[in-house]
Amino acid sequence: MNNYKKFEILTKLSEINEPYISATDIFKSKEIQDILLFEDLDDYYISKEKNYIKDTYFHINTNNSKENQYAGVGNGLYLGRDKIALKRFYDLDNYNFSISEYHIKPKWFNMMLIETNKKVISLFKKYDIEIINSDEVGKIFMKLGFDGIRYYDIYATGEEFVLFKKLY
């Protein structure tokens, strides 16, 4: 990507200013509740803030075999705050994956709202940046001063994180 395009995407991303919204508030939103109802999902796998430990994040360690790999937004360390929800969702087949614990205070770029998520994804597509497992995604967010992203995935554990900067 040339410097001009990089400057453009950095400028446009920096204009997206989503305020902090709790995972509970997102979960209770009409939009998320409608998805749960329409998709016939329940909250069994969704992280619960009551299970959070201050400044503590968890990562489920898959065995990295082809059938157990998870792909997502950018290359980074995928984290959650609710150890129970992570185990329920990412270890469905009871492989007894270990879970690593990180005590960190990252600066997150918030993408919790579906609208924000769509804007960010559309920007990356506009600039021909591959989102899935991309090193470029992390570099861009770190240039903006963020250590990673915080987003909401109703089809996984709800509030999830991708840490691009090594803070541990």
The whole-number pLDDT of residue 153 equals 93
User: Is 0.85 topped by the overall pTM?
Assistant: yes
The answer to whether 74 and 114 are in contact (CB under 8 A) is no
Q: How confident is the model at residue 131 (pLDDT cuts 50, 70, 90)?
A: confident
Q: Is the predicted pLDDT of residue 124 greater than 90, yes or no?
A: yes
The whole-number pLDDT of residue 168 equals 75
Average pLDDT over the chain, rounded to an integer: 89
Q: Is the predicted pLDDT of residue 67 greater than 80, yes or no?
A: no
Torsion from C-alpha of 30, 147, 103, 86, nearest 10 degrees: 40
Radius of gyration over alpha carbons of the chain, in Å? Answer: 16
Q: Is the predicted pLDDT of residue 64 greater than 70, yes or no?
A: no
Question: 58: buried, middle or exposed (CB in 10 Å: 19+, 13-18, 0-12)?
Answer: buried
Q: Could you tell me which residues come within 8 angstroms of residue 112 by beta carbon, excluding any fewer than 6 positions away?
A: 18, 21, 23, 26, 150, 151, 152, 159
The closest alpha carbon to 116, from 9, 13, 6, 10, belongs to 13
Q: Tell me what the mean pLDDT of segment 117-141 comes to.
A: 90
The whole-number pLDDT of residue 71 equals 59
* Three-class HEC string of 56-107: EEEEEECCCCHHHCCCCECCCEEEECCHHHHHHHHCCCCCCCEEEEEECCCC
Q: Is the predicted pLDDT of residue 140 greater than 90, yes or no?
A: yes
